[in-house]
A and B are shown apart, each in its own frame.
Chain A
């Protein structure tokens, strides 16, 4: 029993490390493809954390939607929109480095103080469970309107993306 707990905790640390290292690679790498790889690694770590938060379904969705769709789409955007010389050149740094660092450190310290001073109060009564059946039920009964709205938003976004990506092509051909 205790051995299993130690193993689970080690895996938890591994997921946190994956998130940090991937995030650092995503924001610090000068080569865009490496940045996307870092993003994918970081999202994988977050998927593992979702598993520890009691929702394997969300972990699967994270891998499916973020790593499988969003990262691949960003890779396609890089391949279509950038020349090889731009991909190799260092894209990070410059005049904003000190400003970005100071803003990030300040925000981190402020939020860390707020986080350490807050006392979180758990809910007295728990209702429902973590099962996928209950999640689907509340998605289709309680949050039905939001569910339909997000479908419309996605459809509009896809149509708009096609229109935007097609526009202006006639000038070149």
Chain B
């Protein structure tokens, strides 16, 4: 049985991407690091869509269309996130997510 022709291989790789993104999201101490983790999660989702499209879906174009839309959303999200990071840095002069707050208790 060849691994490249097996649905579960792709699903496990996508699962690893999701887990790495989750881990990085919780543990990184910068906004850019969290953005990078988000991109990893979105890639896992795209890989999942393509794997299901290749092995299970009746119409082979659907998964490709979905993955293309995910790429477009990810590009828009990255543009917004980078500009928000710049605005936050200009206002608070810090890159630490914990220090960005106005109401210190």
Contacts and interface: CB of A to CB of B under 8 A. Distances in A.
A162 B83 contact: yes
B20 A27 contact: yes
A91 B29 contact: yes
Contacts of B61: 128, 134-135, 138-139
Given A128-B61, A143-B65, A165 B86 contact: yes
Q: Is the interface of A mostly helix, strand, loop or mixed?
A: helix
Contacts of B40: 23, 26-27, 39, 42
A39 B78 CA distance: 13
Interface in A21-69: 23-24, 26-27, 32, 35-36, 39, 42-43, 46, 49-50, 52-55, 57-58, 61-62, 65-66, 69
A95 to B, nearest CB: 10
A46 B54 CA distance: 15
A103 B71 contact: no
Contacts of B55: 120, 122
A84 interface: no
Contact of B50 (A58, A146, A164, A172): A58
Contacts of B13: 16, 19-20, 49
Interface string A75-115: 01110111000100001111011011101100110011001
Interface bracket on A = 35 or more
Given A23-B20, A103-B26, A49 B47 contact: yes
A96 B37 CA distance: 15
Interface of A: 5, 8-9, 12-13, 16, 19-20, 23-24, 26-27, 32, 35-36, 39, 42-43, 46, 49-50, 52-55, 57-58, 61-62, 65-66, 69-70, 73-74, 76-78, 80-82, 86, 91-94, 96-97, 99-101, 103-104, 107-108, 111-112, 115-116, 120-130, 134-135, 138-139, 143, 146, 150, 153-154, 156-158, 160-162, 164-165, 167-169, 172
Given A23-B20, A27-B36, 18 more contacts: A16-B9, A19-B17, A26-B37, A39-B40, A58-B50, A73-B78, A74-B35, A74-B36, A74-B78, A77-B82, A86-B30, A92-B27, A92-B29, A94-B27, A99-B26, A100-B27, A139-B61, A164-B84
